[in-house]
Amino acid sequence: MTGNGHRDYLRIATEEAFAPPEVISEWRGLLERGDIDPGFASLWGFFLTTRAERPQNVVARLQDLGERRLSDMDFTGIDKQIISLTAPGTQIFDTDRATGIATLANDQLADACRAHPDRFAGLTAVAPQDPDAAAKEIERGVTQLGFNGVIINSHTHGEYLDNQKFWPILEAAEAQDVPIYLHPNTPSRGLIGPIVEQRLDGAIYGFAVETGLHLLRMIVAGVFDRFPRLRLVVGHLGEALPFWLYRLDYMYASRVSGRGGQSVELLPSEYLKRNVWITTSGMAWEPAIQFTRQVLGGDRVMYAMDYPYEFEADEVRTHDELALTAGERRELFQGIAERVFKLDTAAAKG
């Protein structure tokens, strides 16, 4: 335990990644065989070849659920990580392999959470390729493994969660009362062409295009009318959607009346303020954080680091120094995460 000194809040980081060695090895195999999703080829071709010597040493850090991770958390002052299987997780595999990988990843993560219950919490990985199996895994994650939500790494072979075939997953998350973290992936095959041409497909821009679009598709398809209690968490300050709120609402009417789009019960901004929570992963930038708090509400924006892809003590300090009241800061770092993910942090409060 890192000891939180004079702080009266825990720093809970909510979008923190891991990958079992078996998954990294399977991904290497996919890259060697070729003929794969172009976003995966671009991003993981990069991480698994040229990136190895990079200071963050992302690939090694992803695979550690023990001392190295704990020591990195101590170094940056993170009390607790909410850990999930990194993108694209299972979603690059065929159905059977994906389901097996989800089970394997969840068992490894659950072991780590049991070993360090005050430092780690976990999200359930699923294989959306088999929605009924995924729904069962969500139930196992909550009832047997003690997980606090579900991770979905955006598209699955170019398909999105507004497709009703995936709705057993949403139904299970709502029934178990756990949030789905809608995490970025590289843009799907149909979206990536002009983005990857200029190597903009990763965290610099493509992740936000893909993931913001995914959330918007869910909203206008009526997902949150069918599942009004479903909770979604979205990183990177909402993948740019908060900046678009006015225009989304303004243009929504013409989308329905003039262009034949499906009508839903609320305006896009109303779903974002009812069903969606936002994290600051990779966006340690005060103007954007304050803007997002202003337009969505301070009770919707919580802290994330995005370890190990982001691993910067300065970014933690930026969050510590935001112009917030002590109570607002405690909510940003701790309170919202405790409620949305239903964390038991009593053990870590000493």
Binding site for Ca ion (CB under 5 A): 15, 306
Instruction: Yes or no: say if 131 and 168 are a contact pair by the CB < 8 Å rule.
Output: yes
| C-alpha dihedral, 115 to 305 to 301 to 12, nearest 10° | 30
- CB of 17 vs Ca ion, minimal distance in Å: 5
- CB of 243 vs Ca ion, minimal distance in Å: 20
The residue (of 26 and 306) whose beta carbon lies closer to Ca ion is 306
The candidate with the shortest Cα–Cα distance to 38, out of 202, 156, 196, 212, is 196
Instruction: Yes or no: say if 277 and 233 are a contact pair by the CB < 8 Å rule.
Output: yes
- CB of 240 vs Ca ion, minimal distance in Å: 15
For residues 349 and 158, give the distance between their C-alpha atoms in angstroms, rounded to a whole number. 43
49 backbone dihedrals φ, ψ, rounded to 5°: -130, -80
The residue (of 64 and 270) whose beta carbon lies closer to Ca ion is 64
Half-sphere exposure of 45 (CA within 13 A, CB side): 17
The residue (of 2 and 81) whose beta carbon lies closer to Ca ion is 81
Q: Which two tokens stand for residue 24?
A: 């990294």
SS3 276: strand
The residue (of 13 and 221) whose beta carbon lies closer to Ca ion is 13
- CB of 239 vs Ca ion, minimal distance in Å: 11
- Which residue's C-beta sits nearest to Ca ion? 306
* Chain CA centroid to CA 349, Å: 25
- CB of 235 vs Ca ion, minimal distance in Å: 6
Q: Which two tokens stand for residue 278?
A: 């936002």
- CB of 309 vs Ca ion, minimal distance in Å: 6
For residues 323 and 319, give the distance between their C-alpha atoms in angstroms, rounded to a whole number. 9
- CB of 305 vs Ca ion, minimal distance in Å: 9
Half-sphere exposure of 164 (CA within 13 A, CB side): 3
Place of tokens 């059977």: 96
The residue (of 62 and 195) whose beta carbon lies closer to Ca ion is 62
The residue (of 15 and 331) whose beta carbon lies closer to Ca ion is 15
- CB of 236 vs Ca ion, minimal distance in Å: 8
Residue type, 316: V
Which residues, listed in sequence order, are joined to residue 124 by a DSSP beta bridge?
A: 150
Q: What is the DSSP track for 109-124?
A: HHHHHHH-TTTEEE-E
The residue (of 2 and 280) whose beta carbon lies closer to Ca ion is 280
The residue (of 185 and 269) whose beta carbon lies closer to Ca ion is 185
SS3 265: coil
- CB of 183 vs Ca ion, minimal distance in Å: 6
The residue (of 15 and 201) whose beta carbon lies closer to Ca ion is 15
Residue type, 222: G
